[in-house]
Amino acid sequence: MRFPLALTAKIAGHIIKHKLRKTPKFAMVLQLEPLHTCNLTCTGCGRIREYSTSLKDMVPLEKCLQAAMDCDAPMVSICGGEPLIYPKIEELVTGLLDQKRIIYICTNAMFMRKKMRDYMAADYSPEMETKLQALLKAELVSGKEAEVIRKSDAAARSRVVIRPNRWMYWNVHVDGLEFTHDLIVEREGVFKECVAAIKMAKILGYQTATNTTVYKETDVQEIEDMFKFLSSLEVDAHTISPGYEYDAAKKDMVKRLGKQPEDFFLTRKMTRQKFARIQEWSKAFTIIGTPMYQEFLAGKREMTCTPWAIPTFNVKGWKAPCYLMTDGHYDGYQEMLSKVQWEKYGVVDGVARDQRCEHCMVHCGYDPSGALGTNYRRGDNWKNFRYNFGAKPKPYPASAELAEHAFNGVTIGKGHLAEAKAAINSPRAAMSGGQSVFQRREELHEHSNGGSCGSGDTGERDGLMRKIANAKKI
């Protein structure tokens, strides 16, 4: 099976239950943001910009657990910010598992190995030695760390930890191969750490997933190469979604100056070009997403968004109408459902009900539409069944060549603090994108903003991608 039977059955059961009850609107995935603090400052991160005034705030554990009960989504995606910074992350995961939810911890991976060592220290017994030896051999733990694990004291043994669980996935943010990813997250070595964390997780028996956002300037071939590499690591699942950002000022320029929308936005037309091969990818790789959403991305059908099916809860409450746009926050999920005028949003039959929705095709708005049967076409149920219950794609064969291709940045001396930064700031690269993101960040002394962890300035990310493409040619 493409995905574990228990998970698929749980989600199918949830949909059937609400269909039988004729519930008009219900949640499928809760995007839970217990905090917006992050250890990275990625170019174009929406969350650390939108919530810049509440970066130090956190949602208390009880409120996080209550939010999950409140909307009763079978899946919870714990995101942020960086959720592994949340002081009660272990208790949160444990509490959500007790509620029998499927959990995705969306992380930049920088603290993943530490959390897995905590688990090993808490549960260490001679039976774990084989795995520890495998980790030592692969240099995923050091000799010193192995000793700490073996000699764990009572405090380490009584700690609440994140154990491998068939209902839980580490969901690692990866937006490209080493050169691109490290530039986007603006720190050398992050891609390498993502790979190390995924390898360690696989050895220890955790389930792993990755999430990737595609921007206007994303090189689609690189995304395909990234999937091949991640598949060779036996990553269990991947989500991929187009990035989207609406800016009224840019829209105004389109109108007043007669510019093309594609000068500013990842338009629907452009998204469809980028995702033209999504159905082939989903045959080769374990991509999460309904076949209907994939058809929508590839331009083969229209869909209406169902943003209430993937609600977001954070320090300010229930965010409406969707993960991307904020027109208000509400205290309760049901309150949000009843107070938001949902008919004001989305695109119906190609016509945007809200200008801001015009080019949006994001996963968090449209993927549930496919599962919920919005814009249902005959045969959709069968397609869904065949996709989920069909054979799991085989891992892409691992090879030294594939790994060499993946580690094309700091590993081969092209770190962003050295050659890459110089190349990106070169006159030639600057010509195609103006001032460097790095220079600008240094001047502003603040988080810039969009990224896999949220909406934001995709233009800024695109500017960087354009320079990356030029830097690669130099």
| Residue 465 lies near ligand SF4 (rule: CB under 6 A) | no
| Residue 243 lies near ligand SF4 (rule: CB under 6 A) | no
Residue from 93, 135, 362, 420 in contact with ligand SF4 (CB under 6 A): 362
Shortest Å distance, C-beta 33 to ligand SF4 = 9
| Residue 305 lies near ligand SF4 (rule: CB under 6 A) | yes
Please give, one letter per residue, the 3-state secondary structure of 223-240.
Answer: HHHHHHHHHHCCCCEEEE
| Residue 324 lies near ligand SF4 (rule: CB under 6 A) | yes
Residue from 2, 14, 25, 47 in contact with ligand SF4 (CB under 6 A): 47
Give the SS3 label for residue 55: coil
Q: Within 13 A of 121's CA, how many CA atoms are on the CB side?
A: 24
- CB of 42 or CB of 235, closer to ligand SF4: 42
| Residue 80 lies near ligand SF4 (rule: CB under 6 A) | yes
| Residue 71 lies near ligand SF4 (rule: CB under 6 A) | no
The answer to whether the beta carbons of residues 402 and 229 sit under 8 Å apart is: yes
| Residue 453 lies near ligand SF4 (rule: CB under 6 A) | yes
Question: 105 to 124, contacts with ligand SF4 by CB under 6 A?
Answer: 108
| Residue 325 lies near ligand SF4 (rule: CB under 6 A) | yes
| Residue 194 lies near ligand SF4 (rule: CB under 6 A) | no
Spatial CB neighbours of 20, under 8 Å, sequence gap ≥ 6: none
- CB of 230 or CB of 361, closer to ligand SF4: 361
- CB of 141 or CB of 362, closer to ligand SF4: 362
- CB of 32 or CB of 305, closer to ligand SF4: 305
Residue from 176, 243, 311, 346 in contact with ligand SF4 (CB under 6 A): 346
Residue of closest CB approach to ligand SF4? 365
Question: 134 to 173, contacts with ligand SF4 by CB under 6 A?
Answer: 173
Residue from 345, 387, 396, 438 in contact with ligand SF4 (CB under 6 A): 345
Shortest Å distance, C-beta 26 to ligand SF4 = 17
CA-CA distance, 410 to 192, in Å (whole number)? 9
| Residue 41 lies near ligand SF4 (rule: CB under 6 A) | yes
Shortest Å distance, C-beta 316 to ligand SF4 = 16
Q: Which residue has the tokens 């650390």?
A: 48
Q: For the chain, what is the largest distance between any 2 Cα atoms, rounded to a whole number of angstroms?
A: 71
Shortest Å distance, C-beta 143 to ligand SF4 = 30
The pair of structure tokens assigned to 389 is 């219950």
- CB of 161 or CB of 172, closer to ligand SF4: 172
| Residue 266 lies near ligand SF4 (rule: CB under 6 A) | no
Spatial CB neighbours of 300, under 8 Å, sequence gap ≥ 6: none
| Residue 88 lies near ligand SF4 (rule: CB under 6 A) | no
Q: Kindly state the number of chain residues that form the binding site for ligand SF4, as judged by CB under 6 A.
A: 30
Spatial CB neighbours of 255, under 8 Å, sequence gap ≥ 6: none
Distances (CA, A) of 400 to 226, 232, 247, 397: 14, 11, 44, 10
What is the torsion angle, in degrees rounded to the nearest 10, for the CA atoms of residue 352, residue 356, residue 358 and residue 363? Answer: -110
| Residue 321 lies near ligand SF4 (rule: CB under 6 A) | yes
- CB of 118 or CB of 358, closer to ligand SF4: 358
- CB of 12 or CB of 352, closer to ligand SF4: 352
The answer to whether the beta carbons of residues 420 and 328 sit under 8 Å apart is: no
Q: Within 13 A of 394's CA, how many CA atoms are on the CB side?
A: 3
Give the SS3 label for residue 174: coil
At position 27, the amino acid (one-letter code) is A
| Residue 357 lies near ligand SF4 (rule: CB under 6 A) | yes
The answer to whether the beta carbons of residues 458 and 466 sit under 8 Å apart is: no
Residue from 58, 240, 360, 410 in contact with ligand SF4 (CB under 6 A): 360
CA-CA distance, 56 to 79, in Å (whole number)? 15
Shortest Å distance, C-beta 357 to ligand SF4 = 3
Shortest Å distance, C-beta 413 to ligand SF4 = 25
Helix (H) or strand (E) holding 328: strand 326-330
DSSP 391-441: PPPPPPPP-HHHHHHH--SGGGT--TTTHHHHHHTSHHHHHTTSS-HHHHH
Nearest to 415 by CA among 85, 118, 185: 185
The DSSP symbol for 352 reads E
| Residue 451 lies near ligand SF4 (rule: CB under 6 A) | yes
Residue from 7, 27, 28, 42 in contact with ligand SF4 (CB under 6 A): 42
The answer to whether the beta carbons of residues 156 and 121 sit under 8 Å apart is: yes
Residue from 35, 45, 102, 135 in contact with ligand SF4 (CB under 6 A): 45
Distances (CA, A) of 286 to 117, 211, 237, 363: 28, 12, 5, 16
Shortest Å distance, C-beta 106 to ligand SF4 = 8
User: Which residues make up the interface to ligand SF4 (CB under 6 A)?
Assistant: 38, 40-42, 45, 47-48, 80-82, 108, 173, 185, 305, 307, 321-322, 324-325, 345-347, 356-357, 360, 362, 365, 451-453
